[in-house]
Amino acid sequence: MNRTARFTAGLIVAVAGAAGLALGGASEAAAAPQVCPGLPGQASSSTHCAVKSGPQGLSLAVVADGGQATVNANNFAGPAAIALGPNANVRMDGVRPGLAIAIAGPNATVVVDGKNGPVCSGPGMSFSGDFQTLKGCWR
């Protein structure tokens, strides 16, 4: 893995971890989060998350407490999804070069298609920043 890919993967993991701690820092005990990483050319999945990376993509999904996340990456894209809480849903497609992050809290949905701007919906808190389209959303 070259230096740029290692740096990008590290950056995605760091941002995802920091956001997960910031949004998911509940005072009561909770189930351990599920992490689905996808290095170039790999796919992984668990009960509530699934990722797939093409030969030039990096993907990451982190879910906890009933969240659902699906991430696809190719063409030098690096999307990272975090879904925390019941009915939290994130769907991301990395189709252009650039990083993207999406965070959905309970009862929120975030969709990032890499072509149009991200869409945050639902009554819960959500956020997305997409360097593929240079757009974002906050709810």
What are the C-alpha distances in Å from 34 to residues 45, 47, 50, 114?
9, 8, 10, 24
* pTM: predicted TM-score of the whole model, two decimal places: 0.78
Here the tokens at position 81 are 């999804």
Domain boundaries, the chain: 3-26+33-138
pLDDT in tens, the chain (139 residues): 565 555 544 545 545 554 554 445 444 456 789 999 999 999 999 999 999 999 999 999 999 999 999 999 999 999 999 999 999 999 999 999 999 999 999 999 999 999 999 999 999 999 999 999 999 999 9
DSSP character at residue 69: E
Contacts (Cβ under 8 Å, ≥6 apart) of 105: 23, 84, 85, 88, 124, 125, 126
Amino acid identity for residue 6 in this structure: R
Q: How far apart are CA 42 and CA 20, in angstroms?
A: 23
Q: How far apart are CA 42 and CA 24, in angstroms?
A: 27
Q: Please say whether the beta carbons of 100 and 130 come within 8 A.
A: yes
SS3 of 109-138: EEEECCCCCCEEECCCCEEEEECCCCEEEE
